[in-house]
Structure 1
Amino acid sequence: MSRLFRDVEGGPLCPQGSVVCIGAFDGLHLGHRALVRHAVARAQALGVPAVAVSFEPLPREFFGKAAPPPRLTLPRAKVEGLLALGVDHVGLLRFNARLAAISAEQFVREVLIARLQACEVWVGPEFRFGKGRAGDIATLQALGVELGYTADEIAPVLLDSERVSSTRIRAALSAGDFANAARLLGRPYAIGGHVIHGQHLGRTLGFPTANLRFGGKVPALSGIYATRVHGVGARAWPSVSSFGTRPTVDGVEPLLEAHLFDFDGDLYGRRIEVEFVAKLRDEEKFPDLPTLVAQMHRDATEARRLLMNEQQRATA
């Protein structure tokens, strides 16, 4: 049975041994997928569990609290994605002051050996770990000789002669280049979550929305978008979405608001996924609600047009 664990402390999880892969896995792009699939294949060959180890918050979020970096994937989506790739256990370790202070050797002894009984460890290119990022693949290999496991890194996954990375995907999303982001991810970029109650202002203005929070994280994109919503019916539902802080109505927390075209139903509490297709414009503050509503109508018309054209190209 698949299992999620959060703590460094605790008893052995894999007494028969394991194959471990480690990474931030933000976005689960083509490079991450290659690493995880390789670890899963090695685990199957050895007849032991495959374990993916990541962190929450991500180390760069912990150390950059004043200006957190953008996130591609929320924790739940990351865990679900890793399990879907075939891992048996996911370690979403709480990255706190204690874990930040653990040396590379301590991490190996306490997590990889005492907790996971690793027999193989796999990482991506340029992997660093431990206090001060002092550990690397050479550290893993040297300790492996002493502790009885092997360690190696997979070759980088290249696209257009450049390594696939979360940084490239964030840049593509920021530029509204969803086609390139999808190539790097291996799938269209989407954000999922449970629909929550908002201020119900959209319904008052004639644009009811399904609202998703972004878990207190900083999103990698903001603005108004042509989108598709999955999880509502048998097909992806065409929609127009706003993702941002809603400056006209003095919003603060980033909120993803999807208006589903020609939809009449209650989505509260349902888990949906909003797929981004094209950016219409940046978020802006309007002088009053009538001006905002007029722009919302223009956005909806443009989103319908873009989605219809894209569908026609796909079926041509």
Structure 2
Amino acid sequence: MKRYDFMHLSAHPVLWQQDMAVCIGVFDGLHSGHQAIIRRCVELAAQQGLESMVITFDKNPKMIMKSQPYHSKLASESQIEQILVNIGVDHLVVIDFSADFSKLTAEEFLTLVCAFCHVNVMVVGEDFRCGAPVSSAGPVQLQEYLSRLSPEATVEIPPFVLTADGEITSSTLVRKKLLEGALEEVQSMLGRPYELDLVAYPSKFMEKGLLYRTASFMQLLPPVGVYEAQLSLSDGSVVDVHAHLGEDELLIVPDQAMWDWIAARTKRLSFRAKGSIS
């Protein structure tokens, strides 16, 4: 999978002749609803002999524009890219969202998209909106714009993915359940255990395990408590651990003997869907 900056690709449209299946969204948590949209995009690309492209944002636009409360991320860039690679996405285009970008009308935004590749099909969610609020476009208007910008293009809108309780799966709901410590529901909506990317953060070796300061963590944390988890190391091994999460610190204690902490480096911490055990 190749990654591009949206505005750089607009200025240097190296894919302008490529027939493309494109999906657009704020794929900030890559929950099962997001994945359904992206998988459908990849599926259509395979069926029609196209390449697949995901267009998303480096920051949640609603949080930046303060129409939604700010929360830390549900996944790191590395985690998101790995999931997209596993799904089979060919191209990832990331929008560096800013106040200036927010002023683009829906037509201006879609014109840029249609200029840097040949859009054959576009896949979006039922709640999709693009463009400045006064001129935003939803799925219906999207087809109208594409009929002018890329006349042969079609729009597909996969249905919402519902939880077992009949709620619409969304990043907002994932964050709510995570902050409540409902890891079973979080895992069900994500389709995977909730996982912290630890690669960028320094740790301190303690007698019982590894200690992290959580102040610099970029991802949202569950409530204070002790959690069963699995720690992935850079050498590919996985260790069963207990994660002691405090107000300011995370202590990772292995269930058995300490691994070779000098040679190994931590990679990911996956919370088991059993909730807090303290």
Structure-2-length-normalised TM-score = 0.85
Q: Corresponding residue for 1:276? A: 271
Alignment of 1:190-209 (within 5 A): 190-194=195-199, 196-198=201-203, 200=204, 203=206, 206-209=207-210
Whether 2:8 is the aligned partner of 1:4: answer no
Which amino acid in structure 1 is aligned with residue 208 of structure 2?
A: F
**Separation in structure 2 between the aligned mates of residue 157 and residue 181 of structure 1, nearest angstrom:** 14
Identify the structure with the greater helix proportion.
1
Structure-1-length-normalised TM-score = 0.75
Q: Corresponding residue for 1:258? A: 252
Q: Corresponding residue for 2:232? A: 230
Indicate the RMSD between aligned Cα atoms, in angstroms.
2.8
**Separation in structure 1 between the aligned mates of residue 210 and residue 167 of structure 2, nearest angstrom:** 39
Residues 232-286 of structure 1: CA deviation (Å, up to 9, x unaligned): 666631212244652xxxxxxxx65423332132268835111112443xxxxxx
| Preserved CA contact (<8 Å) 2:231 2:266 | no
| Preserved CA contact (<8 Å) 2:32 2:189 | yes
Residues 142-197 of structure 1: CA deviation (Å, up to 9, x unaligned): 11111222223111122322222222222221222211211111121112231633
Q: Helix, strand or coil for the counterpart of 1:95?
A: coil
Displacement after TM superposition at 1:212 (Å): 8.1
Whether 2:100 is the aligned partner of 1:95: answer no
| Preserved CA contact (<8 Å) 1:26 1:166 | yes
Q: Comparing 42-51 with 4-13, which one deviates more in the overlay?
A: 4-13
Which structure's CA Rg is the greater one? 1
Q: Corresponding residue for 2:173? A: 168
Whether 2:78 is the aligned partner of 1:76: answer yes
Alignment of 1:4-83 (within 5 A): 4-8=3-7, 9-14=10-15, 15-64=17-66, 68-83=70-85
- The number of equivalent residue pairs is 268
Which amino acid in structure 1 is aligned with residue 12 of structure 2?
A: G
Q: Corresponding residue for 2:121? A: 120
| Preserved CA contact (<8 Å) 1:210 1:267 | no
Q: Corresponding residue for 1:157? A: 161
The 1:226/1:33 distance shift into structure 2, 3 A limit, reads same
**Separation in structure 2 between the aligned mates of residue 29 and residue 156 of structure 1, nearest angstrom:** 11
Which amino acid in structure 2 is aligned with residue 175 of structure 1?
A: E
Displacement after TM superposition at 1:126 (Å): 1.0
**Separation in structure 1 between the aligned mates of residue 104 and residue 263 of structure 2, nearest angstrom:** 42
**Separation in structure 2 between the aligned mates of residue 176 and residue 6 of structure 1, nearest angstrom:** 35
The 1:103/1:243 distance shift into structure 2, 3 A limit, reads farther
Q: Helix, strand or coil for the counterpart of 2:11?
A: coil
**Separation in structure 1 between the aligned mates of residue 114 and residue 103 of structure 2, nearest angstrom:** 18
| Preserved CA contact (<8 Å) 1:223 1:279 | no
Displacement after TM superposition at 1:221 (Å): 2.2
**Separation in structure 2 between the aligned mates of residue 89 and residue 214 of structure 1, nearest angstrom:** 33
Q: Helix, strand or coil for the counterpart of 1:80?
A: helix
Displacement after TM superposition at 1:223 (Å): 1.7
Which amino acid in structure 2 is aligned with residue 91 of structure 1?
A: V
| Preserved CA contact (<8 Å) 1:194 1:212 | no
Which amino acid in structure 1 is aligned with residue 157 of structure 2?
A: E
Higher relative contact order (CA 8 A, sep 6+): 2
Q: Corresponding residue for 2:138? A: 136
| Preserved CA contact (<8 Å) 1:170 1:220 | no
Which amino acid in structure 2 is aligned with residue 197 of structure 1?
A: P
Which residues of structure 2 form unaligned runs of 5+? none
**Separation in structure 1 between the aligned mates of residue 104 and residue 246 of structure 2, nearest angstrom:** 37
Displacement after TM superposition at 1:99 (Å): 1.3
Which amino acid in structure 2 is aligned with residue 259 of structure 1?
A: V
**Separation in structure 1 between the aligned mates of residue 137 and residue 145 of structure 2, nearest angstrom:** 11
Q: How high is the sequence identity, in percent, across the aligned residues?
A: 22
